[in-house]
Structure 1
Amino acid sequence: MSEFNTHRFCTAPLLDWSDRHCRYMWRLLSKHARLYSEMVTTGAILHGDQQRHLQFDAAEQPVALQLGGSDPQELAECARIAEEWGYSEINLNCGCPSDRVQSGRFGACLMAEPDVVAAGLTAMREAVSIPVTVKHRIGIDDMEDYPGLTRFVEAQANAGVDTFIVHARKAWLKGLSPKENREIPPLNYDMVYQLKKDYPQLQIVINGGINSIEECQQHLSHVDGVMLGRAAYQTPTILAQVDSQLFGGETGPDAIQVVEQMLPYIEQEMQRGQRLNHITRHMLGLFQGLPGARRFRRYLSENAHKPGAGPEVLEQALAQVTQAA
């Protein structure tokens, strides 16, 4: 498609889902996927528990931190901190439509203020040596469609940003909930394709409603990269096809192998005080569509949260699958 290939396949920043335990599992499935953290606000980093918000396993690399905020000084300071923690990229959230995010003046509402976004991205770029990128919608509310999108993109490109992750839906900030904003506004992939045609020098990554590797391949004939969110979370073994189908590498492990490879990680994390269910909650979809999937989910759901539950609970859940096979 172009000289860009750093973001050919990415997993999306998913609030409450794409934490470090989830990303560790995703990395087992694909060596080449670029992984994104949950959105972390500048306030949480500057005034909260940095260890909790920023810690990750080196095996997750390349991993990007997604920031929520709009104050250039705070964004620059958080970008510096993230670079010190070892992140490979800083991504600014200009796509989240929740009321809480709007009241904090970040997320999708920032699409109405392209100069504010550009100031923040400039400050971050000057503060770090790692790439700074932006994730946004194709528009918000009554913002005129393609001209509004190009005005926003041009302002950020003029600030030196060359990678844009575009959720191919408008966000309706008035009248729709965050969940409805993920489903009701119609997808407009053609608008994202047009963006790549008109700005070939930019790296354009498409996001929204993509559910299979076949769909990824279709999009990659028009843009530089694809980003999967809920599909990667709900059916994580999709990621096992990424390296072979999109990068010419080897097929990733199957679900049973992933469970086996997670056991040492779980043991190590539990020695550090983590609870089993905080890790295994991300594994419930591993056997989606396979015999024994329901029994696996049920066993983990009923037992992983119990006091004293350890790796043996995951082994027993796996036995539910192998008995059904």
Structure 2
Amino acid sequence: MTTSDRIPDSRRRTMLGHLAATAAALGAAPLIASADTAPRKSPNKTGPGRLKQSLSRWTSKAPLPELCKRLKTIGFVGVDLLYADEWSVVTDNGMAVSMGYPAKRDNFIEMGFNDPANHATLIKEIETTIPLAKRAGVTNVITMFGNRKAGIDDQRAIDNCVAGLSKIAPYAAENGITLCLELLNSKVDHHGYQGDRTAFGVAVAKGVNSPNVKLLYDIYHMQIMEGDVIRTIRDNIQWIGHFHTGGVPGRHDIDGSQELNYRAIAMAIADLNYQGFIAHEFMPSRPDPFESFADAFRTCTV
């Protein structure tokens, strides 16, 4: 694996660190509520085609207002993976926040619901974020399974995730928020991550059994871990609330330079009457990154 292969996820991890608020006693600073208490209506346009497409914020160096304007010109309807203090910029530009973070801390990926020692912190973060998300019209909040810990095998980790998420799921449902647990690869980018297989994530989602706890199915990560992407999506779509894209190998453009047929994948997702977002999350390789973004958008416009 080359250094460039590691850039996207390491950059995302670095952003989490640089943007981190001063750590509280529990290791995470709660987000500060906005003074604006009036609920915002999140844009709900689908754009061209049958899929709502967004772009992960970390993939672009452009200032957020400029990013929104340029993405709208292409046809995108949302921006993905944003902190609460960024949400209003996106919604004020007539776009949706397709996925929000519940906290700013540099161990966000590693600290998950698989370990009961994390539950109090994670639940507090989410409880703080849910009313902010509701007011801002943000309907998806990301959370993690976490890295493996000694003495916590997969079955125990599943049980722990179910126990912790079941405590916060009713509050999420009450406020119309979906908690999305991200599936990541442990082979290349996130060594030690426990939620690295679709079956693991589905077992958790089934155990919680709430329409407000679903999987963030990252196509890039699951291609690395298990492949058979279209069949897996078709078999498990009821447990999937969000998608991420990225070219394999290297997490670059989703074009003919990589091994996945994203046009076919997008068609399969749209044919399932999927109503959520598909968010592009890759490191653009072209000199003008917006050419990469526009090409990805065209590929998934089905």
- Provide the TM-score with structure 1 as the length reference: 0.49
Deviation at 1:102, TM superposition (A): 3.6
After superposition, the Cα gap between the structure-2 partners of 1:280 and 1:201, relative to the gap in structure 1 and judged at 3 Å, is closer
After superposition, the Cα gap between the structure-2 partners of 1:51 and 1:62, relative to the gap in structure 1 and judged at 3 Å, is closer
In terms of mean alpha carbon deviation, does 185-194 or 139-148 score higher?
139-148
Q: Is the 8 A contact 1:137 1:167 kept in 2?
A: yes
Q: Secondary structure at the match of 1:277?
A: coil
Structure 2 segments unaligned to the other structure (5+ residues)? 1-7, 13-45, 273-285, 297-302
Aligned letter for 2:269?
L
Deviation at 1:244, TM superposition (A): 3.2
Structure 1 segments unaligned to the other structure (5+ residues)? 1-12, 18-26, 69-74, 96-100, 172-178, 250-275, 287-325
Deviation at 1:281, TM superposition (A): 7.8
After superposition, the Cα gap between the structure-2 partners of 1:235 and 1:147, relative to the gap in structure 1 and judged at 3 Å, is same
Alpha-carbon displacement from aligned partner over 1:13-53 (angstroms, at most 9, x marks no partner): 97879xxxxxxxxx99975253232249xxx9xxx954355
After superposition, the Cα gap between the structure-2 partners of 1:123 and 1:246, relative to the gap in structure 1 and judged at 3 Å, is closer
> Within the alignment, does 1:209 sit opposite 2:222 as a pair?
yes
**Identity of counterpart residues, as a percentage?**
6
Determine the C-alpha separation between the residues in 2 that align with 1:181 and 1:79: 28
Give the total of aligned pairs.
211
Q: Is the 8 A contact 2:102 2:142 kept in 1?
A: yes
Aligned letter for 1:191?
F
Q: Is the 8 A contact 1:114 1:156 kept in 2?
A: no
- Provide the TM-score with structure 2 as the length reference: 0.52
Determine the C-alpha separation between the residues in 2 that align with 1:230 and 1:93: 24
Deviation at 1:169, TM superposition (A): 4.5
Determine the C-alpha separation between the residues in 1 that align with 2:102 and 2:252: 22
User: What RMSD in Å do the two structures reach over aligned CA positions?
Assistant: 4.5
Larger Rg: 1
Q: Is the 8 A contact 2:179 2:213 kept in 1?
A: yes
After superposition, the Cα gap between the structure-2 partners of 1:235 and 1:39, relative to the gap in structure 1 and judged at 3 Å, is closer
Aligned letter for 1:219?
I
> Within the alignment, does 1:246 sit opposite 2:269 as a pair?
yes
Q: Secondary structure at the match of 2:236?
A: coil
> Within the alignment, does 1:140 sit opposite 2:147 as a pair?
yes
Determine the C-alpha separation between the residues in 1 that align with 2:52 and 2:88: 24
Aligned letter for 2:211?
Q
Q: Secondary structure at the match of 1:122?
A: helix
After superposition, the Cα gap between the structure-2 partners of 1:233 and 1:60, relative to the gap in structure 1 and judged at 3 Å, is farther
Aligned letter for 2:160?
G
Greater helix proportion:
1
> Within the alignment, does 1:189 sit opposite 2:198 as a pair?
yes
Matches within 5 A, 1:10-25: none
After superposition, the Cα gap between the structure-2 partners of 1:82 and 1:279, relative to the gap in structure 1 and judged at 3 Å, is closer
After superposition, the Cα gap between the structure-2 partners of 1:216 and 1:182, relative to the gap in structure 1 and judged at 3 Å, is farther
Q: Is the 8 A contact 2:198 2:222 kept in 1?
A: no
**Residue of structure 2 in register with 1:176 after alignment:** none
Alpha-carbon displacement from aligned partner over 1:275-315 (angstroms, at most 9, x marks no partner): x81337848x99xxxxxxxxxxxxxxxxxxxxxxxxxxxxx
Determine the C-alpha separation between the residues in 1 that align with 2:265 and 2:212: 23
Matches within 5 A, 1:1-325: 32=51, 34-39=53-58, 49-52=63-66, 54-58=68-72, 59-68=74-83, 75=84, 77-93=85-101, 102-103=105-106, 108-109=110-111, 112=118, 113-129=121-137, 131-142=138-149, 145-157=157-169, 158-159=171-172, 160=175, 162-169=177-184, 181-182=189-190, 185=193, 187-198=196-207, 199-202=209-212, 204-205=214-215, 206-207=217-218, 208-210=221-223, 214-224=228-238, 225=240, 226-231=243-248, 233-236=252-255, 238-248=261-271, 277-279=287-289, 282=292
Aligned letter for 2:166?
E
Aligned letter for 1:196?
A
Deviation at 1:147, TM superposition (A): 3.2
